[in-house]
Structure 1
Amino acid sequence: MTESVTTATELPRSDRARATRTLTVTGLNHALHDGYTDVIYVLLPVWQTEFALSYGLLALLRGLYAGAMAGLQIPVGRIAERVDGKIILIAGTALSALGYLFAGFSGGIVGLGLALALSGAGSSTQHPIASAAVSRAYGKAARGPLGIYNFTGDLGKAAIPALTSILLVIMTWRHTLLLLALAGLLVAACIVVWMPAVGRGAAGKTVAASHREGAGGGGFPWLLAIGILDTAVRMGFLTFLPFLLRDKGASLPTNGFALALVFIGGAAGKFTCGWLGERVGTLRTVLITEGGTAALIVAVLALPLVPAIVLLPLLGVMLNGTSSVLYGTVPELTPPHRTERAFAVFYTGTIGSGAVAPVLYGVLGDALGPSLATAATAVTALAICPLAIVLARHLADGPATA
């Protein structure tokens, strides 16, 4: 590379303090919203008993939340071009908390479904606004902090469902949801008090949130394609992993332990690979993570149970590591005043891929069996590598500047 890598410590002290506050508050908010998203899995059996629901209706409840969250991110990105992102983030977090509050008071399936849709709508604000806020706060040094920001979401996915499971033992699900709603309102208050203003996207032209000056444009569609395929690999592999381990002789507790190892590795991957991308570049990092993903998937398919389980934390690092690098690259390919809109499009594509990919791989699994369908996820991972090479031509750390 012809330019030295800018780090967060090179920011002026006042800007560094503001950036740290931004990352801390958005990280807390990310943990809350991702926890809100995954806690539904803990609550579905409770609601099935309470309302005598079929599996189809349970899936619909989950879909209402996820659909509202995914479908509204692009409109939220457009609103952020006219309204300060901090205001949107406060309103969205409060709305998501109120959705769980209303769910706790719901008397039937219709009210519960509407409450979850309301909460999902509030969560639609989190990814595009918070990611853009961290990007603007750190400027050229945003890749590593964006990796930390994404890591905090995994902490929320682990902590909030686990805490909810404990609370459901000592109180009713309705009281549990009231506590979750209170936590959300407290986080909204933290944003009010401690988070610096984000500013409007349209007013961000003067903010050096991107170091794309002087580099050619047009790389965002390639980045989006990589993000969609990367998510498809992750979701497809996780769909078949329990069945692969079962066929190797794993019990249900062993399957649960194995999945935990993947998720722990995934959290570590989000934390570390954002910094790796800042230091060695997007292309090298993506080639490492996707090539490693393909190799480790093949190894898990071929090895006996115990060696396969031993590899799962490292596979989790590779599966999730690419995502942090991709999130950190979005601002580099986007004009500063359209950062929120770009993040909204990117998250909509990846979340949509996460919903569709398991279905497609499931059809493939029905036709070819779980082993060959899992092998197809490894092939998909390798297919990302040539796309990354094309993308690198549009990046400041690409071959032209290496």
Structure 2
Amino acid sequence: MTHANVPAEEAPNRDWRIIGLIGTGHFLSHFYMLCLAPLFPIWREEFGVSYAVLGLSVALMSAVTALLQTPVGFLVDRHGARPYLLGGTLIMALSISAMALAPSYWVILGLAVLSGIGNSVIHPADYAILGSSIGEKRMGRAFAMHTFTGNLGFAAAPLVIGLMTQTMGVSWRAALLSLGLLGVPVVAALVLQSRILKDQARPKKGGAPVGRKVLLSRTMLMFFAFFLLSSMAGSGVQAFLIATLDQLWGTPLAVASLALTGYVVGATGGVLIGGWYADRYSRHFTFVLGLTSLSILLLLAMGLLPLPDLVLPVVALVAGTALGASRTPRDVMVKHAAPPGQIGKVFGFISSGLPLGGAITPVPFGLMLDNGMPWLVLPTVALLLVASLLCAGGARGESLRSTRSTSPAPAPAE
């Protein structure tokens, strides 16, 4: 793929500018989703509400984001991604800033819903722009940086809020006002650079299925299940690895925490390895299969064997890295399977499986620990990952069959 009206030597610089713009917005999106939770102790005293009620702010923001991603994806495909990305980012940022002026917690809840509406635009618009604007030789790295910046946003939010409110003595209102307003220059940069953000071509009439038919196809339903099951497994590890290791082997808290940190760091950095691979090789499913299988074996080892304290964090680091590296080729597989002009709705629908998976997992895994069955946690995670691979294989097979049935002649080898 080459960019229209852009000399070949300029395409890489252009691509990295686009990746930087989209990645910065994605960082803010994830940052805003986790910047409220560290304020719960302060809000509990100031507004006199329970932690259960406080949790509604994060739950509502996440739920609204997940529910609206698919409808927004239809709008992105119909009208173009740029206006929705600009509007969504601005709504998201100003909603966080407006919380600084909230006279009661119930106003914060309403603004959390509004921020979730803005946030719902990010995934469908980002992937539509990246898929249409970035050269194929850098598509894997573009998707990898998109995931990486989002993970950095999640990691940075509690740290920044804690430093501002606890160490620097900044009031929570001033913190949210200033952090929310960071979105304004990001929107300004998107406006100034909007000419390099390309919208996808409209689907041709009489071509591939459109609208709901695409999302209800076996290929997309299997990709949705792949994302859902992967998210269920990952959230189970992140939420309960420390408690599981404690109940199983009496692992010291410091060692178990280091193991979880290693897993999360590996999963975050691994996506960059996956992006490098996806741009150089075409066997994406083989890569996903191999690395996910390695992660399954290592997670089972942690759950079935009393590993030495020095070995445990290393095993967790490698397991997280392997799983993280498999994510970018997975995203590229989805992009290649999406019909032309329909990336927004496809990624809006499929990526909604990620927050849904994270919402499903905590209660059943918590019940396993509560009922004295810690030995079941990591094998269940492994089973979820095996099921996700079966769905990925099924999606790939359906995509290949669909390609053969619609192609007049065999496509040239990559």
Please, what TM-score do these two structures have when normalized by structure 1? 0.87
2:83 corresponds in structure 1 to 87
1:261 corresponds in structure 2 to 262
CA RMSD of aligned residues (A): 2.9
Give, in whole Å, the separation in 1 of the partners of 2:372 and 2:391.
Answer: 27
Give, in whole Å, the separation in 2 of the partners of 1:383 and 1:367.
Answer: 25
Task: Give the Å deviation of 1:31.
Answer: 1.0
Q: What amino acid sits opposite 2:363 in the alignment?
A: V
Q: 8 Å contact 1:290–1:384 — kept in the other structure?
A: no
Distance 1:100 1:37, change over 3 A: same
Distance 1:44 1:7, change over 3 A: farther
Matches within 5 A, 1:253-402: 253-278=254-279, 279-301=281-303, 302=305, 303-367=307-371, 369-394=373-398
1:115 corresponds in structure 2 to 111
Distance 1:45 1:280, change over 3 A: farther
Q: 8 Å contact 1:83–1:200 — kept in the other structure?
A: no
Q: 8 Å contact 1:266–1:317 — kept in the other structure?
A: yes
Q: Which moved more, 1:379-388 or 1:389-398?
A: 389-398
Q: What amino acid sits opposite 1:83 in the alignment?
A: H
Tell me whether 1:161 sits opposite 2:165 in the alignment. no
Task: Give the Å deviation of 1:180.
Answer: 0.7
2:210 corresponds in structure 1 to none
2:238 corresponds in structure 1 to 238
1:224 corresponds in structure 2 to 224
Task: Give the Å deviation of 1:274.
Answer: 2.7
Q: Which moved more, 1:258-267 or 1:95-104?
A: 258-267
Q: 8 Å contact 1:261–1:313 — kept in the other structure?
A: yes
Q: What amino acid sits opposite 1:264 in the alignment?
A: V
Aligned partner of 1:48 among 19, 41, 44: 44
Q: What amino acid sits opposite 1:285 in the alignment?
A: F
Give, in whole Å, the separation in 2 of the partners of 1:246 and 1:227.
Answer: 29
Give, in whole Å, the separation in 2 of the partners of 1:175 and 1:367.
Answer: 44
Task: Give the Å deviation of 1:106.
Answer: 0.9
Query: What is the aligned length?
Result: 386
Task: Give the Å deviation of 1:289.
Answer: 2.2
Q: Which runs of 5+ in 2 are unaligned?
A: 206-216, 404-409
1:214 corresponds in structure 2 to none
Give, in whole Å, the separation in 2 of the partners of 1:262 and 1:7.
Answer: 38
Task: Give the Å deviation of 1:108.
Answer: 1.2
Give, in whole Å, the separation in 2 of the partners of 1:199 and 1:118.
Answer: 27
Task: Give the Å deviation of 1:318.
Answer: 2.4
Tell me whether 1:179 sits opposite 2:178 in the alignment. yes
Aligned partner of 2:34 among 28, 32, 38: 38
Give, in whole Å, the separation in 1 of the partners of 2:358 and 2:338.
Answer: 24
Q: What amino acid sits opposite 2:318 in the alignment?
A: L
Give CA-to-partner distance per residue, 1:284-336, whole Å, 9 cap, x none: 11112220121111121212433212212112112333322222222211112
Give, in whole Å, the separation in 2 of the partners of 1:250 and 1:189.
Answer: 50
2:208 corresponds in structure 1 to none
Per the alignment, in what secondary structure is the counterpart of residue 59 of structure 2?
Answer: helix
Give, in whole Å, the separation in 2 of the partners of 1:379 and 1:286.
Answer: 16
Per the alignment, in what secondary structure is the counterpart of residue 35 of structure 2?
Answer: helix
Q: 8 Å contact 1:201–1:340 — kept in the other structure?
A: no
Give, in whole Å, the separation in 1 of the partners of 2:100 and 2:155.
Answer: 22
Give, in whole Å, the separation in 1 of the partners of 2:158 and 2:51.
Answer: 20
Q: What amino acid sits opposite 2:273 in the alignment?
A: T
Task: Give the Å deviation of 1:162.
Answer: 1.4
Give CA-to-partner distance per residue, 1:89-117, whole Å, 9 cap, x none: 11111101111111111121210111111
Give CA-to-partner distance per residue, 1:144-188, whole Å, 9 cap, x none: 321121111122222233122111122111100011111111211
Task: State the identity %.
Answer: 25
Give, in whole Å, the separation in 2 of the partners of 1:186 and 1:367.
Answer: 50
Q: 8 Å contact 1:287–1:385 — kept in the other structure?
A: yes
Q: What amino acid sits opposite 1:353 in the alignment?
A: G
Tell me whether 1:25 sits opposite 2:21 in the alignment. yes
2:188 corresponds in structure 1 to 189
1:126 corresponds in structure 2 to 122
Q: Which moved more, 1:274-283 or 1:171-180?
A: 274-283
Give, in whole Å, the separation in 2 of the partners of 1:252 and 1:103.
Answer: 36
Per the alignment, in what secondary structure is the counterpart of residue 355 of structure 1?
Answer: helix
Q: 8 Å contact 1:223–1:326 — kept in the other structure?
A: no
